[in-house]
Structure 1
Amino acid sequence: MIDRGSAARLKPGMLEELLRSGGVQAMVLSRRQALVSGQGLVFLDAAGLAGRFKGTAYAPEQVIYLGTALPGARAAEGTQYVLFVLPEQFEVRAEPFEPHVEGIPAGAQWAGFREVAAQLDPTDTALFIEASAIANWHATHTHCPRCGAATVPEAGGWVRRCPSDNSEHYPRTDPAIIVTVVGPDDRLLLGGGGPLDSRNYSTLAGFVEPGESLEQAVVREIGEEVGVRVTASQYLGSQSWPFPASLMLGFTATTADTEATPDGVEVTRARWFSRAELQEAVLSGEIVISSRLSIARALIEHWYGGVIQDRPDSA
């Protein structure tokens, strides 16, 4: 839905030129929240917004190029988007974004991605996730890891360069595997952390270590967390989760084991479910599984073979 323009953003001064050209749409983030109205994100005229902020305490910490709308996006094809990341001291209810301000729809509000993800269309979802990921990276990578000098953003906000040693630094993404483990009797193994009496259960997951393949990470993580030996695994799909910088890589795995032993640290309880047992436990409120927004839920329902009905009062 969005062409991120990896070549176009390399042109020196491209952001400044883009803002001068007019017609560019700006998404605004403040403390990891975006402006939302109705069923979607609020986009403002980027040039007008830049002029409104100029010389004020609200001047954005970062202006980042997000990309261009492709065919099928909510906006007209070719619409270009930028991100304004407001400073931490900005109050989300401060004057520049009261509902009466030009361009802000009545009823607009600030919201985090988790709060509104279910109501966003694919384009807004892609933009919110992209914006969150790149804003998080800028917030946590302000200095050169080689010499400690403050770095400066370049390439439309997708590179940070150290002016001291001229090294370039790029956004990072941390790969993590997330797995449905299926036993010899076709039952599904779910687990959870925290208090032993917690009702939350989900798939098992963990970060990939340096020098490790995804399949090796599946075997290691499942063995470490619940003492189960994986005999085979199959990749099913992925989900970006930039909170702060993860890419969840979904697998289903099989095992000949029927007993699981939680490690007591990351996983405090583990339980096997048949399809009927899982649906009954969810409907009764005995357990709570991952929300429909997550790849964990998609993996569980892939094993289940359809939609798992939620308890009515938890939907």
Structure 2
Amino acid sequence: MSYTESPALANHLMDTVLPVRPAMVDRGSGVRMKPGMVDDLVASGTAKAMVVSKRKALVTAEGLWFGDASQLWQALDGTGTEAAAIYLGTTLGPSSLPEGTAVLLFTVVDPAVLGTAAVPPHAEWAGFREVAGRLDANDTALFIEASAISNWHATHTHCPQCGTPTNVEAGGWVRRCPKDNSEHYPRTDPAIIVTVVGPDGRLLLGGGGPADARNYSTLAGFVEPGESLEQAVVREIGEEVGVHVKACQYLGSQSWPFPASLMLGFTATTDDAVARPDGVEVTRARWFSREELQEAVLNGEITISTRLSIARSLIEHWYGGVIEDLQP
């Protein structure tokens, strides 16, 4: 099926949204409020645990590695490794784990945990980008959730009001100050990410770094305090490429906890046909018709965002179908 350039098609896309991806994990926000629930799960002998250290997880050729939570915790305790246990939830669908499996996250400071008897010798440390292509939906959801909560714990160990070290509660989802009794919750930073469509239906993509680099993607930026999402779209696009947005439509979102972002996807329209990169965040910007974009990708002239990110979903939403990648 071919997709012709037309303002009518661009206007149609403004009225559609990205498909909603179902949750793969029941986070049990009520269950985790029970005091001692993590200890009970560890002792139960039925819970599974994944392990994260320094933003990497233990993986195997099949995907994320999940060990018996009780055996693994005992093994970690025997090595003297500094570790913490966090409740991630129960699986909602069968994948590498049976449906209804309780899953814990063990965070360790010392990656030498690979040497413990409870970890198989073929396991290795890997970041999300390295293994995302071989993860199923359940493993992907757990890796992203684990990354988000472990990143928060690593950077929020003390009370921001008085500096006292905080205690972990609610299955790892609350930190409480023992001095002033204040509660502190995981932080997520909202950021908008946008496809900008010109008056002739062409798509504006940009990139940072060297001016002759080949990577192009959608435009994005963080939402500032006191700003609506739509205002952030208008401001960021104006600042980064000098284009005035006349209308925008929310399409969908993606958690991107590297370290703590929630990407809020929009498509926007403009009457401007000239883009002026700011030279700092965006060093190059280019308009593409659908035929031009597909041809540029296939001949290696440019690269666009991978299918891991919402950026690719937004680009293909504008395109009207799947964009073929250059084969190695």
Q: Please say whether Structure 1 and Structure 2 have the same fold, judged by a TM-score greater than 0.5.
A: yes
Q: Give the Cα separation in 1 of the matches to 2:303 and 2:157.
A: 39
Residue 164 of structure 1, CA deviation: 1.1
Q: CA deviation at 1:90?
A: 3.0
- For 1:82, give the aligned amino acid: L
Matching of residue 192 in structure 1 with residue 199 in structure 2 = no
Aligned residue in 2 for 1:95: 115
Q: Do structure 1's residue 178 and structure 2's residue 201 form an aligned pair?
A: no
Query: What is the alpha-carbon distance in structure 2 between the residues aligned to residue 190 and residue 281 of structure 1?
Result: 13
Q: CA deviation at 1:102?
A: 4.7
Separation (CA, whole Å) in 2 of partners of 1:239 and 1:68? 21
1:25 is aligned to: 48
Mean CA deviation greater in 243-252 or 33-42: 33-42
Give runs of aligned pairs for residues 88-167 of structure 1, distance below 5 A: 89-91=110-112, 94-96=114-116, 101-102=117-118, 104=120, 107-167=122-182
Deviations 1:236-287 (Å, cap 9, x if unpaired)?
Answer: 1111100000000111100000001011111111111111111111112111
Q: Which residue does the alignment assign to 1:83?
A: 105
1:184-217 CA-to-partner distances (Å, cap 9, x unmatched) read 0000000011111111110000011111111111
Q: Deviations over 1:29-57 (max 9, x none)?
A: 12211122233211101111111122533
User: How far 1:28 sits from its partner (Å)?
Assistant: 0.5
> What's the CA shift for 1:72?
4.4
Distance in 2 separating the partners of 1:21 and 1:95? 24
Name the counterpart of 2:315. 300
Separation in structure 2 between the aligned mates of residue 227 and residue 144 of structure 1, nearest angstrom: 41
Instruction: For 1:208 and 1:277, locate their aligned partners in 2 and report how far apart those are by CA, in whole Å.
Output: 32
Q: Is the 8 A contact 1:58 1:90 kept in 2?
A: no
Q: Equivalent residue for 1:68?
A: 90
* SS of residue paired to 1:145: coil
> C-alpha offsets along residues 87-121 of structure 1, whole Å, 9 cap, x if unaligned?
1x3336x421xxxx4562x6332211111111111
Aligned to 1:47: 70
Secondary structure of the 2:303 match is coil
Query: 2: distance between equivalents of 1:278 and 1:78?
Result: 44
Match of 1:215 in 2: 230
Identical counterparts, % of pairs = 71
Counterpart AA for 2:112: E
* Secondary structure at 1:292 match in 2: coil
Which range moves more in the overlay, 206-215 or 34-43? 34-43
Q: What amino acid does structure 1 have at the position aligned with 2:208? A: G
Shift of 1:4: 0.6
Give the equivalent residue in structure 2 for 1:281: 296
Is the CA contact 1:290–1:296 (under 8 Å) kept in the aligned structure 2?
A: yes
1:268-314, Cα deviation, whole Å (9 max, x unpaired): 1111111111111111211111111111111111111111111112x
Structure 2 unmatched ranges of 5 or more: 1-23
Structure 1 unaligned residues grouped into runs of 5+: none
For residue 282 of structure 2, what is the aligned residue in structure 1? 267
Greater RCO, CA 8 A, separation 6+: 2
CA RMSD, Structure 1 to Structure 2 (Å): 1.4
SS, match of residue 112 in structure 2: coil
Choose from 50, 53, 57 the match for 1:34.
Answer: 57
Runs of 4+ aligned structure 1 residues displaced above 6 Å come to none
For these two proteins, the number of residue pairs brought into alignment is: 305
Is 1:257 matched up with 2:290? Answer: no
Distance 1:39 1:298 in 2: 26
Give 3-state SS (helix, strand or coil) of 2:221's partner.
strand
Aligned partner of residue 157 in structure 2, secondary structure: coil
Q: Is the 8 A contact 2:240 2:277 kept in 1?
A: yes
**Conserved? CA contact 1:176–1:249, under 8 Å:** yes
Aligned equivalents of 1:53, 1:70: Cα separation in 2: 28
Q: Cα offset for 1:74? A: 4.1
Cα distance in 1, alignment partners of residues 119 and 296 from structure 2: 47
